[in-house]
Chains A and B, each alone.
Chain A
């Protein structure tokens, strides 16, 4: 049923991810482990077309972008993993004509039933976050399942009962938990680091939160295109540079 469940009741479970843009290094481990798990689990097969050819196309439920951010004083690169945000009021669910797209009342996970999806693609049109990708070979829509087939899977060890992307992240940039519970570790992390919603203008109320890059305590990195002389006017020898480096390190 594509009518949304009532998620306003107190204590409503809202499972989701918290993604720390400060420590993501853009290694793609989350994306590849997502692909690996989901091509054998609930979303299987997560198809690729022409995988070894000149123009390979495939379905990915998680993609890692990188953006250059110029804040006026410095230019930095921010790695930006992007997947379904499991919104509280998602339009992708309500536009679905068949009921294949649905939001679970018990934990808020947004899923597509691949056995009833007609492949009309309207849900992907309704999503501003690009979370849904169409599987041309299977003729159905695919999306992040929050590894629903891992997190409740009693065949796995308790510590493995979390999404594949979270397990795979080598820097701990991804956390999984109940964002409906203000006492949960993820909720505390969001409160502490001022986690935010992507494009709140759409009012779809994403559950997943993003933690902003921290303000740098050392000297700002030079803006792109700045002259080397502007950066280190007095560093002329290797020793000078070594002292500059030590100075930067100690002044953190």
Chain B
């Protein structure tokens, strides 16, 4: 599948934003008001900013962004529509949570319910994003529960990395947060390794003979075009295997480095800001590479009509 940069930016930026917001809401639910107005506002504004810029960037790949509002209408059947609806609903409790938790509005009694609703809606929205991909039967390696586990784990892990850096920036780094984020990263790595294993080992069951219904060994003989068409550009994109292997190692190295840096940040409080900044950079590089690979490694069933020998 063609990796559209707007979709990579959307899913990674809004994923980290929802993860950050969900973790802030969980902390608020357990501990009450933010330690300062500046900290409360900075963290929630960054989370909502990432979510909003991600949502906006997702409209850039549309042919008609001005009609995007129509996408809220078909939530009965369409996961893409459900994602849009969930994203909009999340703003309600999220804004109340941000305003009350930071202390901007003096209504501490709203913190817990708004935080709970925000955390749930963040995870629901990321779940709907994952379902857009996981529900497509045409793409074998996406159509699996591990796709959903991957999206949710990565959203929380990248949100945790961001939160570790932000708390450090305010001089409030905590061993618990570093450790918890390292565990989220480890969980993400485990799901990603399982996903790659699934992608590599589940057999390709469809052949050109299935696609055409012709009996025998079927091979493309003459193509129906004079230059690459939309189907070939959009669905035919697959990354070369040797590059995929290298990029997978970059993803793993980026996440392992991020986890190690966070552990070091906890062990060496004097250098914690430096380590959490490195964790942010290497985690960010890893998740963007991971998302690019998620598209580039995916093979669509339609490629069977265009010369693929199995899908």
Contact = CB atoms under 8 A, between A and B. Distances in A.
B220 A72 contact: no
Given A98-B67, A126-B138, A70 B223 contact: no
A55 B300 CA distance: 24
B27 interface: no
A97 interface: yes
A205 B130 CA distance: 26
20 contacts: A65-B220, A65-B305, A66-B221, A68-B219, A68-B220, A80-B214, A91-B138, A94-B78, A95-B132, A97-B78, A99-B70, A119-B62, A122-B78, A127-B302, A128-B300, A129-B305, A130-B231, A133-B230, A198-B213, A199-B213
Interface string B272-299: 0000000000000000000000000000
B217 interface: yes
Interface of A: 1-4, 21, 26, 31, 55-60, 63-72, 77-78, 80, 82, 91, 93-100, 116-122, 124-130, 133-136, 138-140, 196-199, 201-202, 210, 212-213
A178 to B, nearest CB: 22
A63 B224 contact: yes
Given A31-B224, A100-B70, A3 B76 contact: yes
Interface in B92-143: 132, 135-139
Given A212-B213, A212-B215, A119 B302 contact: no
B72 to A, nearest CB: 8
A116 B137 contact: no
Nearest to A98: B70
Nearest to B216: A71
B225 A63 contact: yes
Given A121-B234, A125-B138, A139-B62, A2 B77 contact: yes
Interface of B: 1, 61-65, 67-68, 70-74, 76-81, 84, 132, 135-139, 205-206, 208, 210-231, 234-235, 300-302, 305-306
**Interface SS of A by simple majority:** loop
A188 B81 CA distance: 41
B63 A118 contact: yes
Given A95-B77, A201-B206, A67 B71 contact: no
A95 B210 contact: no
B207 to A, nearest CB: 11
Given A26-B222, A97-B70, A57 B230 contact: yes
Contact of B73 (A59, A99, A124, A136): A99
A78 B235 contact: no
A196 B231 CA distance: 24
Given A78-B212, A94-B77, A117-B64, 14 more contacts: A60-B224, A80-B214, A95-B132, A97-B73, A98-B73, A99-B73, A118-B67, A118-B68, A120-B62, A125-B300, A128-B300, A128-B302, A212-B213, A212-B214
A78 B212 CA distance: 10
